[in-house]
Amino acid sequence: MPGCLKTGYLGPTGTWAEEALLANTGCVADETVSFASIHDVIGAVANSEIEEGIVPMENAIEGSVSATLDMLTFEVENVRIVREIVHPIRHRLIARTDIPLNQIERIISHPHAHAQCRKFVRERLPQAQVVAANSTAEAVRIVSQSEERWGAIGSSLAAENYGCVIIADDIEDYPDNRTRFVILSKSPAPQDLDAPYKTSIVCGIAHDQPGSLLQILQEFAHRYVNLTKIESRPSKQGLGDYVFFIDMEGKKDDPRIAAALKCLECKLNWVKMLGSYPVG
Amino acid sequence: MPGCLKTGYLGPTGTWAEEALLANTGCVADETVSFASIHDVIGAVANSEIEEGIVPMENAIEGSVSATLDMLTFEVENVRIVREIVHPIRHRLIARTDIPLNQIERIISHPHAHAQCRKFVRERLPQAQVVAANSTAEAVRIVSQSEERWGAIGSSLAAENYGCVIIADDIEDYPDNRTRFVILSKSPAPQDLDAPYKTSIVCGIAHDQPGSLLQILQEFAHRYVNLTKIESRPSKQGLGDYVFFIDMEGKKDDPRIAAALKCLECKLNWVKMLGSYPVG
């Protein structure tokens, strides 16, 4: 990374995005700036307010982050993925003081965090009311200023930043919980690093071309390009109309990938390059 | 539907699920029962506490409802989709009294509703703080008991039920906003209705079989079975490991579909039937 002055993340301080940024790059807290939403982070990269931004792309339990995918697909041009960071997510149950689990009356967090800890909450905190917050860090901030019997699901960093106490560790329902973050920039990633690369695209398939996905996959299979992810999202044009996100192993200029993408561009309504970048 | 005594929905009263249920079935409000979460609705069907339940599956703007997909995939057996209901979603901005938009200080709703109205809120209510709630109806309930300057995104039914006022109509960012709900039951749908049918399955593809999705699609393409949706979700076994949801046109006993499914069962780790049902 070219220094990391002005790297943006979804705030407030203490989110998983901030933790991933500080743990995986040369950044220190002074060089980062928090934003209120994923939309704001990506928008700030697009209008050159910040050089780079980190946003969550996909979690191992809860799946893709639709705000990130939709923003990159429909709302910005010339913003590229330049690096992937895969960061472990160990959710903590956090409160103002060290109270027993059965006294928690209300449990606050981002809906994705709630979804990752659903069984834990159901089994260990059946009495607690589940309440949504805009981010895990926001949840911890609320709890730090609330009544004693409120709990939040968040990171150790958030517990520390807001002067709270961890009352249960590693409360996610499945082991190996990780989130794939991406760093975004207007300058595409250098293509000459000695590292494994991934290339990500999104493409539109017309509603009335039911066999098109098969044809897309064949373009890659013929050329022995390995796909690591295929996911559909609404095109916003109506129920039943989708765009497809495809991640593949390799650089965009690899002859096999370049040829496959060229064929896709001939066949489909549109193909958008999201980036070709070193894997996490 | 066999009467509709004890049909469950995601509550509280005034959710889009309740509106879809009352508008599209013979049900009246007395025959329905509300639950606190999608998990609870599906669990109540599974343990025979209710005969049927309605849950959201997919929205035209915001995409699939992961709580529904995950619960049907990983947590219940013998619960089947017996009917599909496609219901228009016209979000309203709702407040206690008829105040101007620029006086709204806080806007509350379910994160999916916020996502469907993101541009409207950004452009027309830039001053408002966005706050998450567990459902659109819960948001309207909170606003009905709050300060004057709070607004909620929800349905007309919710505005009516909680004695609130609609201050802006049809605020979703894209036209033709609709949600696909499904009705679930432990008794599979009759297969002899004179209507178009859909069949839905979910299947697991091993992480180390990169060409498998192509093979799956070929089984259907060879037999001219039209797929209406393909979507991946995390298998919860680790980042990069997915299950695939596939919807196809036709009944499960159609010879072409039955043959394709039989081949899939031979090739894959597992294939789970989610239902074969009349389309909405």
User: At A216, is the secondary structure helix, strand, or coil?
Assistant: helix
Paired residues of B108 in beta bridges:
B131, B152
Residue of B nearest to A115 (CA): B67
Q: Which architecture does CATH list for A7-89+177-185?
A: 3-Layer(aba) Sandwich (3.40)
Using CA atoms, how far apart are residues A15 and A135, in angstroms rounded to an integer?
7
pLDDT over 70 at A3, yes or no: no
Average pLDDT over residues B128-145: 91
pLDDT in tens, A185-244: 999 999 999 999 999 999 998 766 667 888 899 999 999 999 999 999 999 988 888 999
Using CA atoms, how far apart are residues B158 and A200, in angstroms rounded to an integer?
41
pLDDT over 90 at B52, yes or no: yes
Percent of chain B at pLDDT > 90 equals 78
The whole-angstrom distance between residue A61's C-alpha and the CA centroid of its chain comes to 12
Percent of chain A at pLDDT > 70 equals 97
> Is 0.80 surpassed by the pTM of this model?
yes
Query: pLDDT confidence of B207, banded at 50, 70, 90?
Result: low
Query: pLDDT confidence of B215, banded at 50, 70, 90?
Result: confident
Is A66's CB within 8 Å of B63's CB?
Answer: yes
CATH number 3.30.70.260 given to A197-278: yes
Indicate the residue of B115, B228, B236 with minimum beta-carbon distance to A61.
B236
Is A232's CB within 8 Å of B231's CB?
Answer: yes
pLDDT over 60 at A78, yes or no: yes
Indicate the residue of A60, A70, A236 with minimum beta-carbon distance to B234.
A60
pLDDT over 50 at A40, yes or no: yes
Average pLDDT over residues A161-165: 96
- Chain A CB contacts of B180 under 8 Å are 239
Using CA atoms, how far apart are residues A255 and A187, in angstroms rounded to an integer?
22
Whether residue A174 lies within 8 A of chain B, CB to CB, comes out as yes
pLDDT over 90 at B30, yes or no: no
pLDDT over 90 at B267, yes or no: no
Cβ proximity of A85 and B258 under 8 Å: no
Mean pLDDT of chain B: 92
pLDDT for B2 equals: 45
Q: Which amino acid is at A14?
A: G
pLDDT for A1 equals: 44
Whether residue B234 lies within 8 A of chain A, CB to CB, comes out as yes
Percent of chain A at pLDDT > 90 equals 78
Residue of B nearest to A178 (CA): B239
> Cis (ω within 30 of 0) for the bond into A12?
yes
Mean pLDDT of chain A: 92
Where in chain B are all domains bearing CATH 3.30.70.260?
A: 197-278
Ordered strands of the A197-204 beta sheet: A227-234, A242-249, A197-204, A270-278
Average pLDDT over residues A90-106: 96
Using CA atoms, how far apart are residues A44 and A58, in angstroms rounded to an integer?
21
pLDDT for B1 equals: 44
Average pLDDT over residues A255-270: 93
How close is the nearest chain A Cα to the Cα of B26, in Å? 25
Q: Which two tokens stand for residue B249?
A: 């046109």
How close is the nearest chain B Cα to the Cα of A236, in Å? 5
> What separation in angstroms does the CA of A204 have from each of A116, A248, A270?
30, 17, 6
CATH topology for B92-168 is D-Maltodextrin-Binding Protein; domain 2 (3.40.190)
Using CA atoms, how far apart are residues A140 and A64, in angstroms rounded to an integer?
23
Query: pLDDT confidence of B4, banded at 50, 70, 90?
Result: low
CA torsion angle for B93, B97, B103, B107 (degrees, to 10)? -40
Where in chain A are all domains bearing CATH 3.40.190.10?
A: 7-89+177-185, 92-168
How many beta carbons lie within 10 A of that of residue B266, not counting itself? 8
Is A229's CB within 8 Å of B242's CB?
Answer: yes
pLDDT in tens, A107-119: 999 888 998 998 9
Is B217's CB within 8 Å of A221's CB?
Answer: no
pLDDT over 70 at B270, yes or no: yes
